[in-house]
Structure 1
Amino acid sequence: MLRIKNLVKSFDGERRRRSRAGGDTGRDRERVYAVNDISFEVEDGELFTLLGPSGCGKTTTLRSIAGLERPDSGTIEVGGRTLFAAAGRGRPVNVPANERGLGMVFQSYAIWPHMTVFDNVAFPLQVRRRGQRPGKKEIGERVHRVLSTMELDDYADRQATKLSGGQQQRLALARALIIEPPLLLLDEPLSNLDAKLRESLRYELKRLQRDLGITSVYVTHDQTEALVLSTSVAVMRHGDVVQLGRPREIYENPNCRFVAEFIGTSNFIAGEVVARDGERYTVKTDDGQLVLDSSAAMPTGTEVVVSIRPEAVEVGRTSRAGEVPNEWTGKVLTRAFLGEAVDHVVGVGRHEIRARGNPDVSIAPGTEVYLRLDPAKLALVPVD
């Protein structure tokens, strides 16, 4: 459906010149690469998420697909149709944004405040060229069908600004869907909502996307949002895609420390690979050995970091040494009740390891405990 190949987008920037004494001696112009030679594909019916911190290039990538930014090089294709191709082997192509036929939902919704709900949704059809514009009756039928899908049919005659935040978000989505686009682009559409509403709308958006089967590219910095909504996730950093895969794969098997830190919470323990048998590794750390399973290719002697998710750590008051691998002893430093779970922070040597478990298990600070680390739930990542 969507194919991005070798996409590059840079901007003019400034870099301060410093004297040897540390003084500011002026500024030099330099190119800042917001998108740095990235490639990926999105299949029909997928919800593909670009995830990363501010400034990583995710919104620039989305705007390039929409035609709101002109890349320096690369190609963008949707459904076999070339929307952008830089000058090179063939003639350059840059289809204007209003001719790409894509739907887009902005972070601010960008609904027209002087129009009713019905008119907001109908407008993209009403401004089409004469030969492509549906009749008045068809426009009315399509608008009411989309509003019904969004559960907004009772608000058709209401001014758009008199809707709640969640309803305005659904209105913006309805307006994007009315043109029946081959690709829907969403730029952090839930970020302006309060936490409770944002959580409920995540599942509603996922249901709608699945039921309608519309191919979507979603931009967010919210890791939970990406895990809940996505078919596939591309984690971006400094204009690069550092890891691409299914949400569970990226969460359970991050390929670098940045991904492990950005997606969820992790404990990190530095060590050295001292033995390997297929995908079973033994890693020597300052506080003892760890045995784990990993598909990473790390030869013996490699310095590595073991990433341990809090839910992969079992805390107990009694030892099971000899029955399970990776049992360490430590002392509870603090605990926090989270409602659905309890977090314990346990001191083990120089490390403070966070463990998340059943809310019925709450161990007081100062208690000596045993930590058990499941080899199948530990991840091996290279030292950055």
Structure 2
Amino acid sequence: MLEVSRLRKTFETDGQRALGRGRRTVNDVAQVFAVNDVSFTVEEGEMFTLLGPSGCGKTTTLRSIAGLETPDSGSIALDGRALFSRQAGKKKGAVNVAVNKRGLGMVFQSYAIWPHMSVFDNVAFPLRVAPRGRRVGEAEVKRRVTKVLETMELAAYADRHATKLSGGQQQRLALARAIVIEPPLLLLDEPLSNLDAKLRESLRYELKRLQRELGITSIYVTHDQTEALALSSKVAVMQAGQVAQLGTPREIYQRPLTKFVAEFIGTANFLDGTVRARSGQDFAVETANGVLTLTADADVTVGSAALASIRPESVQISVERPTDARNVWSGVVTTRAFLGEAMDHIVSVGQHEINVRSGPEISIEPGTPVYIRFDPSKLSLVPMS
């Protein structure tokens, strides 16, 4: 189990670059928080994903766990063993285990394979250069490398130079080299980002299958929302150096806690309004087009401005009024788009333009009056921000 607690990391920068981020000034030098009080736990066997836009702190967090960055304060522990620990402003009593002594596996975005070595020698390299106390004999090297190459379906290429492999094969080679040391934790820094879309999709499921079969605890960094939802046991969505929301992929997608999370993960309709009534988790939100009733686990008080959000596929559309009259609005289709596996309609309702996604069998011509219905259980409520 990995425990990351109150991790902080700052970089010196000029004032303009620090705008819009948590910042402080030390001796007239602006410092921006790359990671600001980040805490999370990764259970054994989980695929834990750090997800967010460029500059949100996800790679800095990963590199801090690997030992490639030195945080200002916080702690990192793996299976009860401290890898890093430092109190803010104090160096006395600090712990910072060297990169090569942490025993972690890492796959970089660029793969970083040795171009002058064969596939076999690339995978064998970390075993052969391990510290003497952990180094294994050549017979064991051959056994481990052969086994992992078979798992990665690269055994037939063992004698081939690494640069003669395709992009997907090179990605699997980098992964094989990382897991051959049988690490307690595998770190993956956007390993699929250099591949074309079709290959990335196929390797995404291959990576998930391998992670489950091998049972390796993994931390995966990506900015690709689809990748995060498909691969992860847990997702931490990061924003400006902090964890905006942590949960399962389904929780993150269906119950975003902030507008940022709802916008970053997929597509969402936002309906601004005011909370007029609340009973436990049941809310009544007054909008410009009428009152919406919904059920949400939200910390929003009566009288507060709030945003009701709903995914396009959770909005029902029909030319006839639904029998369930709750949350039914009437509008007009302004445009439609065929997406192959789905059909998108944009429906104009008063001040709102609602995106509705349905199966491709539903196709309604622009200009047609329609009814749309918001399922109370599919609506989320977030504070206005």
Where 1:375 maps in the other structure, the secondary structure is coil
What is the rounded CA distance, in whole Å, between the counterparts of 2:206 and 2:280 in structure 1?
43
Q: Which runs of 5+ in 2 are unaligned?
A: 18-27
Q: CA deviation at 1:288?
A: 1.0
Q: CA deviation at 1:348?
A: 0.6
What is the rounded CA distance, in whole Å, between the counterparts of 1:337 and 1:125 in structure 2?
52
Name the counterpart of 1:50: 50
What is the rounded CA distance, in whole Å, between the counterparts of 2:55 and 2:108 in structure 1?
17
Q: 1:149 aligns with which of 148, 151, 154?
A: 151
Q: 2:312 aligns with which of 310, 313, 319?
A: 310
Q: 1:246 aligns with which of 220, 245, 248?
A: 248
Name the counterpart of 1:77: 77
Q: CA deviation at 1:131?
A: 3.3
* Partner deviation per Cα, 1:205-243 (whole Å, 9 max, x = no partner): 111111111000000000111111111111101101111
Residues 272 and 306, structure 2, Cα contact 8 Å, conserved in 1: yes
* Partner deviation per Cα, 1:185-205 (whole Å, 9 max, x = no partner): 000001111111111111111
Name the counterpart of 1:234: 236
Q: CA deviation at 1:135?
A: 0.8
How do 1:24-173 residues align onto structure 2 when only pairs under 5 Å count?
Answer: 29-87=29-87, 88=90, 91-173=93-175
CA RMSD of aligned residues (A): 1.3
What is the rounded CA distance, in whole Å, between the counterparts of 1:136 and 1:60 in structure 2?
36
Q: CA deviation at 1:280?
A: 1.6
* Partner deviation per Cα, 1:275-306 (whole Å, 9 max, x = no partner): 12222211100011111111213221111001
Where 2:367 maps in the other structure, the secondary structure is coil
Residues 300 and 382, structure 2, Cα contact 8 Å, conserved in 1: no
Alignment-mate amino acid for residue 160 of structure 2: R
Q: 1:289 aligns with which of 267, 275, 291?
A: 291
Q: CA deviation at 1:308?
A: 1.1
What is the rounded CA distance, in whole Å, between the counterparts of 1:347 and 1:238 in structure 2?
34
Q: CA deviation at 1:173?
A: 0.3
Identity among equivalent pairs (%)? 65
Alignment-mate amino acid for residue 38 of structure 1: V
What is the rounded CA distance, in whole Å, between the counterparts of 2:133 and 2:289 in structure 1?
73
Residue 201 of structure 2 corresponds to residue 199 of structure 1: yes
User: Which 4+ runs in 1 deviate beyond 3 A?
Assistant: 87-90
Residue 335 of structure 2 corresponds to residue 334 of structure 1: yes
Aligned length: 373
Q: Which runs of 5+ in 1 are unaligned?
A: 18-27
Name the counterpart of 1:21: none
Alignment-mate amino acid for residue 220 of structure 1: T
* Partner deviation per Cα, 1:28-57 (whole Å, 9 max, x = no partner): 630011000111110000111000000000
Name the counterpart of 1:213: 215
Name the counterpart of 2:382: 381
Alignment-mate amino acid for residue 365 of structure 1: P
What is the rounded CA distance, in whole Å, between the counterparts of 2:119 and 2:336 in structure 1?
49
What is the rounded CA distance, in whole Å, between the counterparts of 1:302 and 1:58 in structure 2?
32
Where 1:376 maps in the other structure, the secondary structure is coil
* Partner deviation per Cα, 1:304-324 (whole Å, 9 max, x = no partner): 001110011111011125x24
